[in-house]
A = this chain, B = another copy of it.
């Protein structure tokens, strides 16, 4: 039942990759270099990550799980749009003011380009999918389908803007949740009254 235990941890690959990305940039760092520094074979990389770009968005993947959990735990009594807002703020609370993901603060030195940003947005899309799924069960009316997706994508866009500003404001910034609140709240009130 147990099989061979995992010798090389996911964290070691992440560390090695972060170092190399900061030293020579994302594009010039090969998977082989990462695995060499981590002391494993190249193929082992693909046991832990599906693609190279996943190394950059580990935190976003974690936040997706947090968001779906928060949405699942929402009470049926609270209005749907409010539940979305609370779930987003709860997810953002996991990021205190101090520690921001490297990809956000160091994207300049890493040489992150549009393609990489898009890979991050693909994760954002999954957040939107989770929100849309939640809303499509609770919203009613003829435009429910369009509104569910519009709310989901708009809110995630606003949240992404908040994350970007938060990271850019440096280590003395406020907690992420404050930024998210300021960016997301107008969107939800707009849909609530419209």
Contact = CB atoms under 8 A, between A and B. Distances in A.
A186 B194 contact: yes
A118 B188 CA distance: 25
Contacts of A184: 150
Interface in A132-156: 143, 145-147, 149-150, 152-156
Contact of A121 (B125, B162, B188): B125
B118 A154 contact: no
Nearest to A185: B194
Interface string A155-194: 1111011101100000000000001001111111111011
B153 A157 contact: yes
A145 B162 CA distance: 10
The quantity of this chain's copies bound in the complex is 2
A158 B145 CA distance: 12
B160 A153 contact: yes
A52 B57 CA distance: 24
A46 B124 CA distance: 30
A82 to B, nearest CB: 14
A117 interface: yes
A76 interface: no
A58 B193 CA distance: 36
Contact of A153 (B146, B161, B185): B161
A170 to B, nearest CB: 13
A190 B181 CA distance: 13
A125 B161 CA distance: 11
Contact of A190 (B119, B182, B189): B189
Given A152-B161, A155-B154, A183 B146 contact: yes
13 contacts: A117-B122, A117-B125, A145-B165, A146-B182, A150-B158, A153-B160, A153-B161, A154-B161, A185-B194, A186-B187, A186-B190, A187-B190, A189-B190
